[in-house]
Structure 1
Amino acid sequence: MTVISERFERGTGRDPDQRTPVRDPHDGSDREKGRARRIAILGTVGVPGRYGGFETLAENLVHYHAALGSGDNLTVWCSSKDNAERHTRFASADLRYVGLKANGVQSIPYDALSLLDAVRTGHDRLVLLGVSGAMMLPLIRLISRARIITNIDGIEWKRAKWNGPARAFLRASEWAAVRFSHRVIADNEAIADHVRATYGSDCAVIAYGGDHAVAPVGTGGIPEGLPGGYSLSLCRIEPENNVHTILEAFRGLDLPLVFVGNWANSAYGRELKQRYGTCPNLHLLDPVYEPGALRALRAHASVYVHGHSAGGTNPSLVEMMHFGIPVLAHGCVFNRHSTEGKALYFDTSEDLAAQVRGLGAADAGRIGADMQEIARRRYTWDHIGEAYFALFETD
């Protein structure tokens, strides 16, 4: 996810088994004029996705493009600093590189240079993921007729971790993205409501796919020594993800919790691991990246606890919904939209402990089935790819 903070980390659907039919490559207004579109995906570390939600989105848009058999040209901009092997192709996409890191403060010039290079190389659909480079959009509108489609991600400037100057820049970038993009994408209806209320502009609501999380990949298993029937939580260890709230709730329960995160990356994480790491029912694991091991860890969980309270639709939530287990989520509006109000919700440690104690087998089965039904209907990559490429055709 390519807004600065995420880089520090970083409708109706159909059954995921039903593949999207290949469309006529001559459909669409540009094709009627006898030329293929040149689509640029900008604002990520690159593909294949190894970093965060926007990278996973970019990779799956490439896969959708390949399956579509489209005559459009697709290019993904990548960071040469974050990709040791500089491949020139990935599936059906060309890859181009910028010699800056795609994360942190460097994300601003990284996105700006990527946008300028996309215009210079004749791309007529610029898909900007995140708002770090949005201050460049007024210039892009002056020098190019390319259509700009920006996914603004979450309401980043409201995150508590940002100081005054960073918050002001993020807010200005959000304004520029809405003002100078031809189309704006929100990943959650609550984000779309914010855009309408703040800027008087409408936007498309397109979330993320999560069905890749249940794909049979790799041969990894769960780490040794974990109990059966555990609750699972996994996230970047940040205050807005309510890690302290979850740990405090489970410390008072005689139930196992497996919590996966980057504990060593911040004073907040280190302090929490020191305080709670000796509790016998709490298993605090470092990040798990191997796809097979991550899938096994999720598949063996009996409950998923989701503490994110900022941003929009969170990829880790929609991925877990595909596993068909009950979700206990922070009660923010974003999570309620993502789960259609059918999960269980908490705001405090006391709320969460009470929800866990009161969760019976019948309710757990019903909630898990609801989560899986929503995920299969709304959060598959076929559905997401179709929505993005429909925007490319109409714009």
Structure 2
Amino acid sequence: MQNIFIVGSKGIPGSYGGYETFVDKLTEYHQDQPEIKYHVACAVDEAEKVGEFTYHNAHCFNVLRKPIGPAQAIFYDTDALKYCVAYIKQHHISNPIVYVLACRIGPFFNKYVKQIHQLGGKVYVNPDGHEWMRAKWPAPVRKYWKISEQLMVKHADLLVCDSKNIEKYIRTSYESYKPQTTFIAYGAETRKSTLTDADPALTDWYRSKGLAPGEYYLVVGRFVPENNYETMIREFMKSHTKKHFALITNVSDKFLEDLKRKTGFDRDPRIKFVGTVYNTELLMKIRENAYGYFHGHEVGGTNPSLLEALGSTRLNLLLDVGFNKEVAEDSALYWNKSDGDLARLIDQADQMLPEEIDRYDQLSTDRIRQAYSWDYICGRYMDLFLNNCSEM
């Protein structure tokens, strides 16, 4: 049996971030595989909740997340690694693989890599996206993220990149380290929502938000500057569409006020900030019923919300950057940040014939099914963990 220790997600079940969904799906798809055993670190904020439990046949262990501000995630990861090392020793586990998600603990990383190597194990890292480029971090924090990434790339046995662009960046930026890399993407569903068009959960949501099926463009994502909300809102306001723009996001008051001051979106009744939606089936149905989906992410690897949109929404309008084109290829429409470009594309999309939209819908669904379905992605991880197929 191959033992896999996963560190760096908030844990399973019940969290809805990208890494959390990945770990949930990985353990779900492999729960009946006798050759593999997962051990998953899960974050808790109360000491009395520290303990162990089983979920999807995975051994889950709670790690106390210390209330120490921005450094909280760093110490959560290192405490989880301490637990892994102790557990491997105590249970005499042969050839373990410790898989660390994200590059948060670079200055402390080599210490744990050495300990795991001494126990006959290997350490894999998923480098995520360009955390050090995110505008939300002040300059000293961005510098830390870059140094941390550098040190984790240097000492990892294998970098598992969820984007070919990220893999290329790792190989070229850290060429002197000769990093071992492989590409395995994030996954998505291609099935339809279990909700019907008449389901009260859906109709009540539409009624409360002033929306109707097929009469809105949609965006789902974190409310951060590098997701280009300002550009999307400004361009939507310039367009002639009669449809609404529904933004499903967690709202930061400061960022919202900045946007309001810069764009005046509060004077455009078409633009609706509709809060967050944590009901998975409801969110899937809202995606399916959107006229079109906007994706403005420009920092990071394969973005979960993009995959979900390509799997569910009929027409997708994406920011023209390498990460997005790598995923969607010819199954989407593309825009850039120059003045008027997205506004023109929205007006063009409004005039598209149903059969043309059907063609894009089929192309995007096929793209997800062939290269990004959870069944395919979890199969790739099974090969990696059992056969060490890093070059595939």
TM-score (norm 2): 0.85
* Alignment coverage as a number of residue pairs: 358
Q: Separation in 1 of the partners of 2:47 and 2:373?
A: 27
Secondary structure of the corresponding residue to residue 99 of structure 2: strand
Alpha-carbon distance, 1:213 to partner: 7.2
1:289 aligns with 2:278: yes
Q: Separation in 2 of the partners of 1:279 and 1:134?
A: 46
1:216-271, CA deviations, whole angstroms, 9 ceiling, x for partnerless residues? Answer: 279631431203421111111111101011111111333321111112x2411243
Q: Separation in 2 of the partners of 1:112 and 1:390?
A: 27
Q: Separation in 1 of the partners of 2:64 and 2:110?
A: 23
1:227 aligns with 2:212: yes
- Which of 137, 141, 144 pairs up with 2:113? 141
Counterparts of 1:272-287 in structure 2, within 5 Å, are 272=259, 275-287=264-276
2:41 corresponding residue in structure 1: 77
Higher RCO (CA 8 Å, separation ≥ 6 residues): 1
Do the aligned residues in 2 keep the contact of 1:303 with 1:326 (CA within 8 Å)? yes
Alpha-carbon distance, 1:134 to partner: 3.6
Instruction: Return the letter of the residue paired with 2:40.
Output: V
2:258 corresponding residue in structure 1: 271
Structure 2 unaligned blocks of 5 or more: none
- Which of 348, 353, 368 pairs up with 1:375? 368
Secondary structure of the corresponding residue to residue 88 of structure 1: strand
Q: Separation in 1 of the partners of 2:103 and 2:387?
A: 22
Instruction: Return the letter of the residue paired with 1:269.
Output: L
Instruction: Return the letter of the residue paired with 1:115.
Output: L
2:104 corresponding residue in structure 1: 132
Alpha-carbon distance, 1:281 to partner: 1.4
1:240 corresponding residue in structure 2: 226
Alpha-carbon distance, 1:104 to partner: 4.1
Alpha-carbon distance, 1:366 to partner: 2.2
1:157 corresponding residue in structure 2: 132
Secondary structure of the corresponding residue to residue 289 of structure 1: coil
1:268-301, CA deviations, whole angstroms, 9 ceiling, x for partnerless residues? Answer: 1243357323412112111111123212211211
1:42 corresponding residue in structure 2: 7
Q: Separation in 1 of the partners of 2:340 and 2:231?
A: 9
1:205 aligns with 2:183: yes
Secondary structure of the corresponding residue to residue 294 of structure 1: helix
Secondary structure of the corresponding residue to residue 109 of structure 1: helix
Secondary structure of the corresponding residue to residue 150 of structure 2: helix
Q: 1:70 to 1:82 in 2, by over 3 A?
A: farther
Q: 1:185 to 1:238 in 2, by over 3 A?
A: same
Alpha-carbon distance, 1:207 to partner: 1.4
Q: Separation in 1 of the partners of 2:48 and 2:277?
A: 21
Q: Separation in 2 of the partners of 1:382 and 1:226?
A: 34
Displaced runs of 4 or more, over 3 A: 82-87, 101-104, 212-215
Do the aligned residues in 2 keep the contact of 1:233 with 1:259 (CA within 8 Å)? yes
Do the aligned residues in 1 keep the contact of 2:331 with 2:367 (CA within 8 Å)? no
1:23 corresponding residue in structure 2: none
Do the aligned residues in 1 keep the contact of 2:157 with 2:180 (CA within 8 Å)? no
Identity of aligned residues (%): 28
Q: Separation in 1 of the partners of 2:373 and 2:10?
A: 22
1:112 aligns with 2:95: no
Q: Separation in 2 of the partners of 1:336 and 1:84?
A: 46
Q: 1:84 to 1:48 in 2, by over 3 A?
A: farther
Q: Which moved more, 1:130-139 or 1:266-275?
A: 266-275
**Structure 1 vs Structure 2 CA RMSD:** 2.3
Q: Separation in 2 of the partners of 1:366 and 1:63?
A: 32
1:354 corresponding residue in structure 2: 344
Q: Separation in 1 of the partners of 2:279 and 2:303?
A: 20
Instruction: Return the letter of the residue paired with 1:226.
Output: L
Q: 1:293 to 1:305 in 2, by over 3 A?
A: same
Q: Separation in 2 of the partners of 1:190 and 1:77?
A: 28
Alpha-carbon distance, 1:171 to partner: 0.9
Instruction: Return the letter of the residue paired with 1:66.
Output: Q
1:102-148, CA deviations, whole angstroms, 9 ceiling, x for partnerless residues? Answer: 99421101101111211111161101111112433211222222211
Counterparts of 1:301-320 in structure 2, within 5 Å, are 301-320=290-309
Do the aligned residues in 2 keep the contact of 1:45 with 1:82 (CA within 8 Å)? no
TM-score (norm 1): 0.84
1:170 corresponding residue in structure 2: 145
Do the aligned residues in 2 keep the contact of 1:43 with 1:77 (CA within 8 Å)? yes
Q: Separation in 1 of the partners of 2:130 and 2:330?
A: 21
Structure 1 unaligned blocks of 5 or more: 1-35
Alpha-carbon distance, 1:302 to partner: 1.5
1:61-117, CA deviations, whole angstroms, 9 ceiling, x for partnerless residues? Answer: 1112214x2233211101111899766111211111111169942110110111121
Q: Which moved more, 1:349-358 or 1:149-158?
A: 349-358
